């Protein structure tokens, strides 16, 4: 087992509510008011930080888009940004 592997338990209350144990909240990087996502795969459920999960999904979806658009260097990106800024300034 890795050093981040541990088991914790929580009780399901009458309305289906569960308090996420402090150690688990810390691993997820969530605090009061944050959102979590439940990913169900068969009989296994993963709980993830919704913001982190959304960013991971976006990164996976966008993987390779820069190269497909011909943006292969920092200079390419800077040139595109400069071009777009100039277009915004035109009447």
pLDDT (tens digit, 9 = 90+) per residue, 18-27? 999 999 999 9
* 3: in domain: no
* 60: in domain: yes
pLDDT (tens digit, 9 = 90+) per residue, 38-86? 999 999 999 999 999 999 989 988 988 888 888 889 998 898 899 889 8
Tell me how many domains the chain contains. Answer: 1
* 5: in domain: no
* 10: in domain: no
* 32: in domain: yes
Determine the structural domain holding residue 59 and report its residue range: 22-89
* 1: in domain: no
Distance CA 76, CA 52 (A): 28
Over residues 10-39, mean pLDDT: 95
* 14: in domain: no
pLDDT of residue 86: 86
Hey, which residues does 39 pair with through a beta bridge? Answer: 46
């Amino acid at each position: 087992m890795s050093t981040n592997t541990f088991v914790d338990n929580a009780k399901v209350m009458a309305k289906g509510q569960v308090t996420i144990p402090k150690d688990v909240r810390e691993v997820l990087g969530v605090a009061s008011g944050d959102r979590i996502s439940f990913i169900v795969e068969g009989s296994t459920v993963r709980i993830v930080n919704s913001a982190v999960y959304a960013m991971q999904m976006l990164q996976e979806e966008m993987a390779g888009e820069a190269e497909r658009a011909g943006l292969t260097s920092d200079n390419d990106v800077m040139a595109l940004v400069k071009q777009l800024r100039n277009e915004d300034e035109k009447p």
